[in-house]
Amino acid sequence: MIQALAFYLFAIVVIVSGAMTISSRNPVHSVMWLILAFFNAAGLMVIVGAEFIAMLLVIVYVGAVAVLFLFVVMMLDIEVASIRAGVARYAAIGLALAVALAAEMMIALGAWSAGKIDLTRRIAPVDATVPNIQAMGNLLYTRYLFVFEGAGLVLLVAMIGAIVLTHRDRSGARYQNIARQNARRPQDATRNVKPEIGQGVQL
């Protein structure tokens, strides 16, 4: 009972916030609605027992991707009116994509109910009593430890590469020197003058 209630709650909020994401006038609001959609999708994942995916959704999508979106949206000066103007122009393409997507879903559903291709020589049988985070951790840190560490090295290379290719020392830049600022005394920096009328000041 409670599961059904929770499911309908999460599902309705996902659909509503999804609709609001594409229809809200302010792009910042769109991103906020998107975050709400992610959270509720995570709730749905918890209900089906995929708590690892739920955590991924919250940590990766909400924590990183959506925040990045928010930054980008806030940096860009987006004119909603000009985007709206394009809707009519691209309606046909959008509709075609939607039809293709719907058709694919039908085909997938049909194939699924017709039976599956034989893909079932699993090396890691799923044990229903083990939570999937624990099952995944067991594999990642024992059997696949070497590959896992290798993937870590790949990320390290990506980081080094990004820094090597973009970082440069700006020799002409003027950095703030706080010590010098603090050491500066009023009598060195300012001077009291009383200019004659019409004479101006000597700088």
Partner 1 sequence: MSYAANLAMTLPELVLGLGAIALMLVAAWGGQQSTRAVSIASVFVLAGACVALAGPASSGGAAFDGLYRADAFAAFAKVLIYVASAVAIIMAPDFFRRTAGDDLKPEYPVLILLSACGMGIMVSAADLLTLYVGLELQSLAAYVLASFMRRDTRSAEAGLKYFVLGALASGILLYGISLVYGFTGTTLFDGIAGAYAATPMSGEAKSLGLLFGLVFIFAGLAFKLAAVPFHMWTPDVYQGAPTPVTAFFASAPKVAAIGLATRVAIEAMGSATDQWRQIVIFAALASIVLGAVAAIGQSNVKRLLAYSSINNVGFALVGLACGTPEGVSGVLTYMVIYIVMTLGSFLVVLQMRDETGEPVESIASLSGLSRTRPGLAAALAIFMFSLAGIPPLFGFWAKFAVFDAAVKAGLFPLAAVGIAASVIGAYYYLRIVKTMYFDDPAPAFPRSENKVEGGLIALSAVFVSPLGYLLIPALGVWTTAAAKALF
Q: How far is the CB of 150 from partner 1 (least distance, A)?
A: 4
Return the axis-axis angle of helices 80-89 and 91-113, rounded to nearest 10°: 70
CA 52 to chain centre: 17
Q: Contacts with partner 1 in 130-189 (CB under 8 A)?
A: 143-147, 149-151, 153-154, 156-158, 160-161, 163-165, 168
Q: How far is the CB of 162 from partner 1 (least distance, A)?
A: 9
Closer to partner 1 by Cβ: residue 49 or 150: 150
Does 123 contact partner 1 by CB under 8 A? yes
Closer to partner 1 by Cβ: residue 15 or 154: 154
DSSP state at residue 49: T
Q: Exposed, middle or buried: residue 48 (CB in 10 Å: 0-12, 13-18, 19+)? A: exposed
Closer to partner 1 by Cβ: residue 89 or 122: 122
Contact mark string toward partner 1, 57..86, x via CB under 8 A: ------------------------------
Closer to partner 1 by Cβ: residue 98 or 159: 159
DSSP H/E element including 30: helix 27-47
Return the axis-axis angle of helices 27-47 and 2-23, rounded to nearest 10°: 160
> In sequence order, what are the residues at sequence separation of 6 or more whose Cβ sits closer than 8 angstroms to the Cβ of residue 195?
201
Binding region for partner 1 (CB under 8 A): 117, 119-123, 143-147, 149-151, 153-154, 156-158, 160-161, 163-165, 168
